[in-house]
Structure 1
Amino acid sequence: MHPYGKSFNHAIADVTVSTLKESGHEVSFHDLCAEGFDPILMGEELVSDRSDDELVQIHWNEIKEADGIVIIHPNWWGQPPAILKGWVDRVLRENVAYRFPEDDDGSGLPIGLLKARVALVFNTSNTPEERENTVFGDPLERIWKDCIFDFCGVSNFHRRMFRTIAGSTSEQRQAWLDEVMDMVCEHFPGKER
């Protein structure tokens, strides 16, 4: 998510949550900044695959049961904000989101454990698309599609980058929010709106 409550990321989240609920879906929504999620993975948690953090345990339980996942965040330095990276480190853990075969030391191919049938990622950026693709190679696509969701067993992946936010008009932002609604309805069908 975004630390600023009036950001376009929050508008995307509002439309996403309301669209899912209107379609009859049960939604577990988390604004990591608002709930004070601690992104720091401590040594004992890393080696034990256990956490005393009740919020991490809630996220573990919810992600394991989720039929679909939607991630919303800005593009900061070609990656998610630190709090979201910490969420990935602490929540998408071995034996929660993936595991290795018994005879594997962790260097082989993982077995994805997430049962989500689809993952959507909505990003915002102030970097023009041509520069993003030619200079940086769209690192967020690679991170979310290949390094995270495919690793965890979610191969039905869709992502949309909205850009450039800084110079956008209110009309452009409304068109983007309409696109968010359409994508959510397409990938999370429910009752007729």
Structure 2
Amino acid sequence: MKISVILGHPYENSFNAAIAETVITTLKNNGHTAMFHDLGQENFNPILSDKELISENTEDELVLCHQSEIKEADGIVIIHPNWWGQPPAIVKGWIDRVLRKNVAYIFPEGNNGGGFPIGRLKAKAGLVFNTSNTPEERENTVFGDPLHHIWKDCIFGFCGVKIFDRVMFRVIADSTCEERKQWLDEVRQKVNQYFPQ
């Protein structure tokens, strides 16, 4: 299987990067092809221009590469920190520029975009790994865990990816080496669950 793996963290030695490395190694050990992109290292431009918005087309070769791969992906893994209850800007820009109409979804003929979309992604499962410094109780009771809703319903559900799971590792700032080792074991288990040999 071809699995698209997207990392959205600016620091190359972050725990997010360790998660991505663990995901890629596990996928390869299971016989899958990991199509990996570190958005920061690639200098992915997150800005959706007016021309690109109106035309629904792009001349950006990197965006075209991402669009081609996401259409072919049998599974998708996204890794990023929780910033203000949202993905970092570079990940939001990736969503805006890559998961476009006629790439990730379409609308029925005669629908101007106000109705229900038809997801076009063939990925069987979407898996998201997040890190956060917000305690779980506060995230759920005060903020309502917006990242879960964003990824499950607003993105993967919209684009036709029906199987979804998400893991949040917290509190990352106070975590110990032992906790991080346990978390990476959990990453391996999740990847093995959704993308086995």
TM-score (norm 1): 0.98
Pick from 70, 73, 94: which aligns with 2:101? 94
1:164 matched to which residue of 2?
A: 171
1:138 to 145, 155, 159: 145
1:37-56 pair list within 5 angstroms: 37-56=44-63
| Structure 1 unaligned regions, length at least 5 | none
Within a 5 Å distance, the mapping from 1:4-83 to structure 2 comes to 4-83=11-90
Normalising by structure 2, what TM-score? 0.96
Structure 2 unaligned spans of 5+: 1-7
Identity %: 67
Secondary structure of the residue that 1:160 maps to in structure 2?
strand
Supply the AA of the counterpart residue of 1:181: R
**Cα distance between partner residues in 2 of 1:99 and 1:73:** 27
The amino acid of 1:159's aligned partner reads R
Distance 1:135 1:108 in 2: 31
Q: Which has the higher strand share?
A: 2
Structure 2 distance, partners of 1:186, 1:59, is: 25
The alpha carbon displacement at 1:49 in A equals 1.2
Report matched runs for 1:118-157 at 5 Å. 118-157=125-164
**Partners of 2:150 and 2:47 in 1: how far apart?**
19
Q: Which amino acid aligns with 1:136?
A: F
- SS of the residue corresponding to residue 113 of structure 2 reads coil
CA distance in 2, matches of 1:176, 1:129: 15
- For this pair of structures, how many residues does the alignment match? 190
Mapped to 1, the partners of 2:85 and 2:35 lie a distance apart of 27
CA distance in structure 2 between the partners assigned to 1:4 and 1:110 by the alignment: 36
The AA in structure 2 aligned to 1:134 is T
Give the superposed CA RMSD.
0.4
Instruction: Tell me, in whole angstroms, the C-alpha distance in 1 between the residues paired with 2:142 and 2:123.
Output: 33
